[in-house]
Amino acid sequence: MKKYLLGGIIVSFILFLTTKTKAAPRILKPGEFDFRPQKKLPLGIKNNNPGNIIIAANRLKNPWKGQSLQNTDGRFEQFILFHWGVRAMMKLINNKMKGGLNTIDKLIRNWSATGQETYVSIVEKELGINRFSVVPYRNKKIFFKLVMIMIIVENGRSVIASIGDKLILDQMEKAFLILINE
């Protein structure tokens, strides 16, 4: 009986060692967030990609800062920390607006593949700017509000409420500081 018990323990231990292939979790600094290990979140949050940025064909030739090189999603970018995904979203929105997609209607119709009319209506109402008017995106307060509204639409109001607006705003501020210092 003792032989079987000891043998079972040894086999269990060997199985434990050989199936445990994940690297040790990264130690996060204060203010850093990595939502990838959390399974019950929307994809955008779980990927640290609150804008649901789709993988570009040239992703390895021209990677995003903070991009995860081991993408397990296959369709959407993944970032190693949440603020890197926020930074990518902010940079992409800024570039699109500078490039002429400077109204809510143009930006959202380019950004989203589905549900565009509803998305445009929500952003228009929440931002308080007509969908066909030029958005003063260089105004930090308006730009942050636009990004926050898009994060809410992309991931769900209840999820963002559970994470906390303050956490999202802190991550936006961190991403913004990185952008302006590049």
pLDDT in tens, 65-79: 999 988 888 899 999
Where in the sequence is the domain holding 128, given as residue range(s)? 33-57+73-180
In a domain, 63, yes or no: no
In a domain, 122, yes or no: yes
- Three state DSSP letters for 121-153: HHHHHHHCCCCCCECCCCCHHHHHHHHHHHHHH
The domain tally of the chain equals: 1
Better pLDDT: 31 or 10: 31
In a domain, 66, yes or no: no
- Residue 89: the pLDDT is 97
In a domain, 157, yes or no: yes
- Residue 32: the pLDDT is 87
- Residue 26: the pLDDT is 62
Two structure tokens written together for 17 = 């060692």
Residue 102 zone, left/alpha/beta (φ > 0; ψ -120 to 50; rest): alpha
pLDDT band at 174 (very low <50, low <70, confident <90, very high): very high
Better pLDDT: 17 or 43: 43
In a domain, 65, yes or no: no
In a domain, 140, yes or no: yes
Place of tokens 């942050």: 144
In a domain, 142, yes or no: yes
- Strand ranges inside the chain, DSSP E: none
pLDDT digit string, tens, across residues 4-18: 433 444 433 333 333
Answer for the pair 85, 66: CB distance below 8 angstroms, yes or no. yes
